[in-house]
Amino acid sequence: MREAPMTPHSSDRTDAELEALLARAADRDLGLTLQTGYVTKALLGLFGSDRFRLAVSADGSTFFDGLSVDNATGIVD
């Protein structure tokens, strides 16, 4: 129901961010977003479906699945 920014370690970098996305029922999203310079570069979790996925993006708008797991069979695509 809220986005929870996380800081897993201290760093001199100020342009990187890790966010946990929790219980977004309307969006069907649950997972982690990894950002640099306020641009999302990777997604890990359930985004838009029940399939667990790892997706990456060069520009923050077009994402490509590097890993996708079928929740009914466990088969990795």
For the chain, which residues make up each domain, given as ranges? Answer: 2-68
Q: Bigger pLDDT: 36 or 13?
A: 36
Q: Which residues contact 43 (CB under 8 A, 6 or more apart)?
A: 31, 32, 33, 34, 53, 54, 55, 56, 63
For residue range 36-59, list pLDDT tens digits in order: 888 999 999 988 888 999 999 999
Closest CA to 35 of 22, 49, 20, 23: 20
pTM for this one?
A: 0.67
